[in-house]
Structure formats: C-alpha cells, structure tokens
C-alpha cells in the first residue's frame, strides 16, 4: 500500500520512518524542502506539493501544526483534495480544533474522500519508538480499515466517536498534561523553599497516588534544568487556545485551563516559547527567585 504523508516536523519524520519500517511505501511533502530531502534519503518518495503526495495513494496522512495549516494543505490550491481520488482515506493526525475537523470532513465528503481525525499523544520520544497514543474520530468502519496503519506508528489506537471526537479527546489530554506540569512545578517549588530536596520528594511520591506519566517524564527534566523541546510551549498554547475555544462553544467551564494559559503566555513573553512545556517550572522559579533543580543548561 502507498501512503501520502504531509508534514515532516518533529513528529512527522519519525512517523514516516515507522510506516516504512512496517513495509508501506510513502510519498512525502513538507513546505520545508530540507525535511523532504531528509526523508527521501531514508527511502521515501519526495513530492513537490500536497496534491502530488496524494495522487495514487490509498491513504493520505496529514501531521501539521494547527487548523489553518491543515485547511490549507487539504482544501487549498495544490492540496490533498485536488490529488486524492474518490474512495481514498484522509487521516488527519494533527492536533486541531474539533470544529475545524468537522469542516474539513464535510469538504472531503463532497469529493467522496473519507476522513478520520486521529491526533496523537506522547511527543517525539514515542513518535520515534512507535508507541504513541492515538485517539480517533469519524466513521468506525473507516477507522477499522486504517487500524493497522495507525498501529504501525502507535502503541494504542482508540476509537472515540464521530468526527472531531479524536481532537476533543486530545484537547482533554492536553488540559490534563498542562495542569499536571503546573501542579508538579508548584509542589516541587514548595519542597525546595521548605528545604526538602526535590529529588527525594520525587522518589518518595512517584509510586503513590500523585505519581503519573507526566511526573515521570517531566520531573527529571525539571530537576536537571533541561528544557530541550519534546513538546514546545508554543504548541501547548495552541492546544489550550483550541480547548478554551471549544469550551466556550460547548459551555464547558475551564477556569484552571485559563489560569495555566496565562502562565504559558507569560513564559512565551519571557522567551520560552520554543522550550519544552516542562519549562512551566520557570514561571514558579521566577516568582520564587530560585530554581527547583540545577541551573538550566544552554540558556
């Protein structure tokens, strides 16, 4: 089977490699020419547009930053819908607003192209080792058709409901992750200011009720002063903006999300937009006048 893949960023490149490892032929496109060349050197077929990357492919995957980028790649000039034939399947694995997923799905339906939204969680490390969590929305029959493709990139793929349900699930995930990192930062600053070694606190509580995947992944980075991006603050701002917009549309109260959004905006203003979202700790360090762990590296 031949797959068209559009979007070769931090996540897209390892996803393409895992698809090829699973035996799929992959045609790739990205607006950054160097990304296309890098994937072509690894065995992918280089294309010059989203339209070209969609031609002669049974399945097309998009992995792009936000709603406008997906709309441009799918609906725009030289886009997916200009290249994909009727009966083809679009899997949008970007994290975008659920309303945008529904808009794109409606346009695809008019061209007789099937679509599911299937955003991912796990960041670059899990994209590399093929263990991402994938949450999907759309027609269940379409999800079933592409399940094996999804599982070549992920450790789990769960059907969540109608179109947009995947992105709604991803927004819930991103709310939990952001609030968790903020809670961890607040708690570990408390221990530091009270004179208790944060490393010892981590060791003591990680196996209890407060323990979490987020804590295990982000506290070692915080303690080491390492904010090399696996998932950038700028991207988390985008996700929380989509969450707040969806909350306003649906009447869901999100006061804690709004509070963390202000922390992220403050960090962006201080120059941390391209840092890992574990840099939420920097907000607390600025207020407290001390670091939780060691001094940050390379800053």
| Residues acting as catalytic residues | 170
Structure tokens at 238: 């985008």
Longest dimension (CA), the chain: 65
The span from the CA of 87 to the CA of 196, in Å, is: 61
Q: In the block, which residue shows the tokens 């991207």?
A: 235
Q: What is the rounded CA–CA span in Å between residue 261 and residue 265?
A: 6
Cβ proximity of 41 and 33 under 8 Å: no
Strands 114-117 and 89-92: parallel
**Alpha carbon separation from 119 to 47, 109, 141, 197 (Å, rounded):** 24, 20, 18, 38
Dump strand ranges (E) for the chain: 2-6, 25-29, 45-46, 59-62, 89-92, 114-117, 120-121, 132-138, 154-161
Nearest to 19 by CA among 113, 112, 96, 132: 132
Q: Is 3 helix (H, G, I), strand (E, B) or coil?
A: strand
Q: Which DSSP category does 85 fall into?
A: P
Helix 255-269 / helix 165-193 crossing angle, nearest 10 deg: 70
State the Cα–Cα distance between residues 92 and 83, nearest whole angstrom.
16
- Mode of pairing for the β-strands spanning 114-117 and 132-138: antiparallel
């Amino acid at each position: 089977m031949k797959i068209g893949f559009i979007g070769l960023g931090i996540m897209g490149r390892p996803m393409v490699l895992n698809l090829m490892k699973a035996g799929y032929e992959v045609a790739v496109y990205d607006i950054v020419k160097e990304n296309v060349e890098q994937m072509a050197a690894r065995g992918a077929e280089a294309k010059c547009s989203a339209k070209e990357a969609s031609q002669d492919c049974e399945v097309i995957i998009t992995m792009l930053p936000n709603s406008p980028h997906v709309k441009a790649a799918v609906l725009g000039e030289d886009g997916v819908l200009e290249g994909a034939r009727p009966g083809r399947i679009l899997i949008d694995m970007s994290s975008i607003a659920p309303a945008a997923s529904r808009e794109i799905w409606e346009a695809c339906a008019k061209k007789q192209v099937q679509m599911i939204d299937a955003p991912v969680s796990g960041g670059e490390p899990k994209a590399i080792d093929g263990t991402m969590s994938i949450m999907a929305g759309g027609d269940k029959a379409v999800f079933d058709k592409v399940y094996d493709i999804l599982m070549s990139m992920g450790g789990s793929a769960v059907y969540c409901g109608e179109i947009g349900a995947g992105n709604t699930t991803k927004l819930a995930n991103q709310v939990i992750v952001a609030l968790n990192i903020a809670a961890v930062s607040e708690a570990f600053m408390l221990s530091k200011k009270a004179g208790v070694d944060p490393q010892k606190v981590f060791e003591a509580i990680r196996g209890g009720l407060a323990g979490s995947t987020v804590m295990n992944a982000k506290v070692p980075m915080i303690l080491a002063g390492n904010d090399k991006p696996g998932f950038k603050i700028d991207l988390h701002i985008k996700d929380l903006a989509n969450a707040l917009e969806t909350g306003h549309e649906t009447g869901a109260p999100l006061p804690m999300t709004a509070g963390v959004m202000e922390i992220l905006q403050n960090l962006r203003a201080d120059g941390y937009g391209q840092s890992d979202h574990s840099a939420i700790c920097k907000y607390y360090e600025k207020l407290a006048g001390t670091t939780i762990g060691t001094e940050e590296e390379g800053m």
